[in-house]
Structure 1
């Protein structure tokens, strides 16, 4: 019987599911705000993400929360969070669970 191996990507996704936009009761990963997770050989991680609105008043807090939570993982040496608004976020980017939670289904 083989052991289940939790990959670094799985750990990163789990950490991202603990970060919330204070105005929305769904985590940023299921909201579809995370566009890309890049993992370098040297333990450097780059997260490309967006926000639900460009003028989000807690943008700095969310970015800092992502960076701090990813950097707590033992295999991660550094985490860089890149904000982008291209493409703009839409409700269609949410997971089915997030849409259900927010009443969009």
Structure 2
């Protein structure tokens, strides 16, 4: 049995090391992660999107996310679902991201 809350926080810390190369803000603060769950066996389920389907990292960013999260101690496997609905918008960004990008 894993401490799911602690594991989720460690996964979030790793997600904050992944960046959309066009925007100097990590994918967590950008709001690209729609859902993150960890089950009792330590499997991580991540639902994410990209800023647009034409994003230049559409193929590489989900792979980077999956590989980095797999390295978190206690994570057994990572199931990543790349979705386009609902579409990403700037409303999904954290206050920190909006401030960093000069939107506040």
Common topology (TM > 0.5): yes
Unaligned segments of structure 2, at least 5 residues: none
* 1:13-92 aligned within 5 A: 13-92=12-91
Is 2:101 aligned against 1:102?
yes
Q: Distance in 2 between matches of 1:60 and 1:79?
A: 17
Cα offset, 1:10, TM superposition: 0.5
Pair member with larger Rg: 1
Q: Distance in 1 between matches of 2:75 and 2:63?
A: 15
Cα offset, 1:68, TM superposition: 0.8
Aligned residues: 100
Q: Distance in 1 between matches of 2:78 and 2:61?
A: 14
Return structure 1 stretches of 4+ with deviation > 6 angstroms: none
Match of 1:3 in 2: none
Kindly indicate which of the two structures has a greater share of residues assigned to helix. Answer: 2
After TM superposition, the score normalised by the length of structure 2 is: 0.92
